[in-house]
Amino acid sequence: MSLFDARFYDLVVHLPGNAEEISRFSFVAKRYGYSGIALVNSKENSLHTVHKPAGLSIYRSVEISIKPSRLRDEIKKQRASQNILIVRGGDEELDRQAVETEGLDILLQPAKFNNVLAATAANNSITLGFDIGSIIRLRGEPRARELRIMRTNLKHARKYDLQMILTTDAHSLYDLRSPREMAALAGLFGMTTKEAADAMSKSPMEIIRKKSHDYIREGIEII
């Protein structure tokens, strides 16, 4: 019926804590209406044994923060694994290295995005991440700056048909927001409700599919 009946995912969740904390977070996430989360750089070894509600899956992701010259090697090293690869955007040099390497999944909030980078990202099927958490946490001028960055990123993403995802970049369970709130916040920088809903359900599902065991390469499948 509505756009918000889909399954929603948040792929950038930072929880350094133990299984108990993850379990508490997962119950809150389920309440907010999420069907899956991905923990960034989690030290917990056995995510399968964590006590979690039915219908919520926990995935692993890796945020790579390294100097630009070594980024490419690091991505190549990690891309064969099942983890979702995330690079937080920074200066142009870093963004360029990130989008030029095939195998990266998400480039989060690049500050100086341009048409050349967007075209390259589209070629390598890299998803553009929007950090909604920055709108929630910041006030005043810094928030206006973040909104402006997101506005230009959205423009490029529309032009080059980039996949987008929305994330709250949560560090604790109080950072989480429900999908409808996320859509309302995304509306502040011009994203339509349809785009926002897709950015929380369709695109993350696509990334998760790509990282599953059965996936080999685009267009190839075992029958």
Partner 1 sequence: MKTIPVLRDKKRYIVFEVISEQTVTRYDLAGEIFNSVFSLLGDAGASEINFGLLSYDGRYGILRCKREKTSDTRAALACVNTVRGQRISILVLGMSGTIKGATEKFIQQSIIKESEPE
Residue type, 100: E
Strand order in the sheet with 164-167: 9-13, 36-40, 57-63, 84-88, 106-108, 127-131, 164-167
- Which range, of 64-72, 99-107, 117-125, 185-193, touches partner 1 by CB under 8 A? 185-193
List the interface residues with partner 1, window 25-84 (CB under 8 A). Answer: 28, 31-32
Count the Cβ atoms, other than its own, within 10 Å of residue 156: 20
Q: Which is nearer to partner 1, 93 or 187 (CB)?
A: 187
Rounded to the nearest whole angstrom, what is the least distance from the CB of residue 47 to partner 1 in the complex? 24
Rounded to the nearest whole angstrom, what is the least distance from the CB of residue 168 to partner 1 in the complex? 9
Rule CB under 8 A: say whether 137 interacts with partner 1: yes
- Which range, of 15-23, 24-32, 76-84, 156-164, touches partner 1 by CB under 8 A? 24-32
Burial class (CB in 10 A: 0-12, 13-18, 19+), 68: middle
Rule CB under 8 A: say whether 164 interacts with partner 1: no
Residues that bind partner 1 (CB under 8 A): 28, 31-32, 135-137, 139-140, 172-178, 180-185, 187-188
